[in-house]
Amino acid sequence: FNEPLLFDQGSKGRVGCTLPECDVPELKPERLLPRKLLRRDIPGFPELSEVEVVRHFTRLSQHNYGVDLGFYPLGSCTMKYNPKINEEVWRLPGFSQAHPYQPQSLIQGALELMYELETFLAEISGMERVSLQPAAGAQGEILGMMLIRAYLESKGSPRKRVLIPDSSHGTNPASAAICGYQCVQIKSGPRGRIEPQAVADMMDEDVAAIMITNPNTLGLFEDQIADIAKIVHAKGGQVYCDGANLNAIIGISRPGDVGVDVLHFNMHKTFAVPHGGGGPGAGPVGLKAHLAPFIPIPVVEKKGKRFVLNEDLPSSIGRVRAFYGNFAALVRAYAYIRSLGPSGLRRVAEVAVLNANYIMNQLKDTYHLPYDKFCKHECVFSDARQLPHGVQTLDIAKRLMDYGFHPPTIYFPLIVRGAMMIEPTETESKETLDQFIAAMKRIAEEAERDPELVRSAPHKTKVSRLDEVKAARQPNLRWKGKAPRLP
């Protein structure tokens, strides 16, 4: 059933909540503010009862697919199960109802948590300091590049260019650009990995850094990362690691041990913080000691038994957001780490990798696999075998919906034409993987037998394929209605 917009429902004068009674003198607004500053009305604003609001959003929710409904193998997004206890603990009043400017004596629990989380993330990544401030991975990237820039400036020059592999995440080039760098692309080698020689060829003293995703977006471990780091460091450059795919190596290999200078984490990927349909996440940044003077303020420090916020860092780059980061997301990540402990976190990586390899192995005879052997947390297929039947990746993705699955990430990484990037995560059972594999095989059969069935999918969703061209050509970005309504 179609659900009308909020603005097309309701009736004049309805309200959906009660406010406390006014227990102070009820002066007219004209007595309190200059008349020219006053607003009369907000035409078109909703007028609904609580009942209507609850039904509206309950129905909308049923038009959505989440991890709690089923398999969500979006590659590179690590859509793992979000533990319910974590959703309970972050809402404790001491966390969710604390004001950021409370006196430090009244926020000792929050500071302790942040202090410990920094320690945990440093240990997990092999980095020396961690800033918890960035609100998302992409903001972590900006912060990381800013730190590198500040460090290089302190050495005399910020330099000009940043090296970015063609298998990098989409946000990497944009992040470097915001920090004033030009991006230079490095081609992956035939093994789907960066070749040290390619880096050596590009590396000079105008290059500020290389941004590496490891494991990369082909799901492969950059096994020469240590050599690459040496090459970059030799010319005074820095190594930035996009940690979006940390889930594959947690407890097994630490970026800090293999030459990485800066790394961002995605709390909403590796550490089971729910993604919220597009955030909020959190993207802490780990760094080596030489970058520590530039870390954003404030930092949490321990003085004896007390925790304090220190803003007195003269070389700090400043802040990337107000206050201290997406604290409620940090609470969940902290709880997750405490639940699993060292052995549990390592088991996460082992099973995540096993699950991905199982899918890769079971589907490699059905779909074209551009890079073979073993993968880490995700595997990448292409539509090369289906294209001759006129069925492409988009069609396969849409058809998966009819089988009850969320599609994988598609057309990414760009270096694989028609890529399907499948990341199962460790929270999926073998049975679910088997069902997904069976569906993928059936779709491959359908592509041969009845390609139109696949091309016209999805057939079971609330809406069929949407006209994205129309959306972009004639942008309709808000309800315009007929404001003001009838009196």
Partner 1 sequence: MQYIPNTEADCREMLDAIGVRSSEELFADIPSKLRLKRGLNLAPPMSETGLRRHMKGLADKNADVEHYSSFLGAGAYNHFIPAAVSHLVFRSEFYTAYTPYQPELSQGTLQAIYEYQTLICQLTGMEVANASMYDGSSALAEAILMAHRINGRLEVVLPLAVHPEYRTVCHTYVSKLGLQLDEVPYTDQGATDLKKVGAAISDRTCAVVIQSPNFFGVLESLDELAETAHKAGALLIVAVAEPVSFGIVRSPGESGADIVVGEGQAFGNHLNFGGPYLGFFASKEAYLRNMPGRLVGQTTDKAGRPGYVLTLATREQHIRREKATSNICTNEGLCALAATVHLSLLGRAGLRELALLNLRKAAYAKEAISALRSCELRFAGPTFNEFVVRVTRGTPAQMNRGLLARRIIGGVELGRFYPELSDCLLICVTEQNSREEIDALCKTMGSGR
Binders of a copy of itself among 373-412, rule CB under 8 A? Answer: 404
> Residue for token digits 């912060």?
143
Reported as type and span, the H/E element at residue 424 is none
List residues bridging with 164 in a β-sheet: 185
Binders of partner 1 among 425-454, rule CB under 8 A? Answer: 426-430, 433
The correct pick among 71, 265, 327, 367 for binding partner 1 (CB under 8 A) is 327
338 touching a copy of itself, by CB under 8 A: no
- Pairwise CA distance, residues 311 & 243, whole Å: 27
398 touching partner 1, by CB under 8 A: yes
Binders of partner 1 among 166-185, rule CB under 8 A? Answer: 170-171, 173-180, 182-183
459 touching a copy of itself, by CB under 8 A: no
Q: Which does 370 bind (CB under 5 to 8 A by kind): a copy of itself, partner 1, none?
A: none
| Identity at 407, one-letter amino acid code | P
The correct pick among 71, 151, 221, 240 for binding partner 1 (CB under 8 A) is 221
21 touching a copy of itself, by CB under 8 A: no
DSSP labels, 146-200 = HHHHHHHHHTT---SEEEEETTS-THHHHHHHHTTPEEEEE---TTSS--HHHHH
Contact criterion met (CB below 8 Å) for 242 and 211: yes
Q: Tell me how long the chain is.
A: 487
The correct pick among 84, 99, 303, 480 for binding a copy of itself (CB under 8 A) is 84
Angle, CA of 135, 356 and 333, to the nearest 5°: 30
368 touching a copy of itself, by CB under 8 A: no
CB of 74 to partner 1, least distance (A): 6
Backbone angles phi, psi at 434, to 5 degrees: -65, -40
Binders of a copy of itself among 203-262, rule CB under 8 A? Answer: none
CB of 412 to partner 1, least distance (A): 7
The correct pick among 5, 15, 60, 69 for binding a copy of itself (CB under 8 A) is 69
| Identity at 117, one-letter amino acid code | L
Tokens of 138: 């992409």
Binders of partner 1 among 189-208, rule CB under 8 A? Answer: none
Contact criterion met (CB below 8 Å) for 196 and 444: no
Contact criterion met (CB below 8 Å) for 381 and 458: no
Contact criterion met (CB below 8 Å) for 224 and 195: yes
The correct pick among 104, 157, 315, 429 for binding a copy of itself (CB under 8 A) is 429
Query: For 44, what's the count of Cα atoms within 13 Å in the CB-facing half-sphere?
Result: 9
301 touching partner 1, by CB under 8 A: no
Largest Cα–Cα distance of the chain, in whole Å? 77
Site string for partner 1, 47-76 (x = CB under 8 A): xxxxxxxx-xxx-xxxxxxxxxx--x-x--
The correct pick among 76, 171, 245, 427 for binding a copy of itself (CB under 8 A) is 427
Q: b or e along 313-340 (b: 16 or more beta carbons within 10 Å of the residue's beta carbon)?
A: beebbeebeeebbbbebbbbbbbbbeeb
Site string for partner 1, 106-125 (x = CB under 8 A): xxxxx-xx------x--xx-
33 touching partner 1, by CB under 8 A: yes
431 touching a copy of itself, by CB under 8 A: yes
Binders of a copy of itself among 30-49, rule CB under 8 A? Answer: 49
52 touching a copy of itself, by CB under 8 A: yes
54 touching a copy of itself, by CB under 8 A: yes
Q: Which is nearer to partner 1, 375 or 388 (CB)?
A: 375
- Pairwise CA distance, residues 230 & 236, whole Å: 10
Q: Which is nearer to a copy of itself, 340 or 397 (CB)?
A: 340
> Residue for token digits 């690459």?
228
Which range, of 54-62, 104-112, 267-275, 324-332, touches a copy of itself by CB under 8 A? 54-62
Closest CA to 110 of 306, 360, 272, 274: 306
Enumerate binding residues for a copy of itself (CB under 8 A).
1, 9, 11, 18, 49-52, 54-55, 58-59, 62, 68-70, 81, 83-84, 339, 404, 427-431
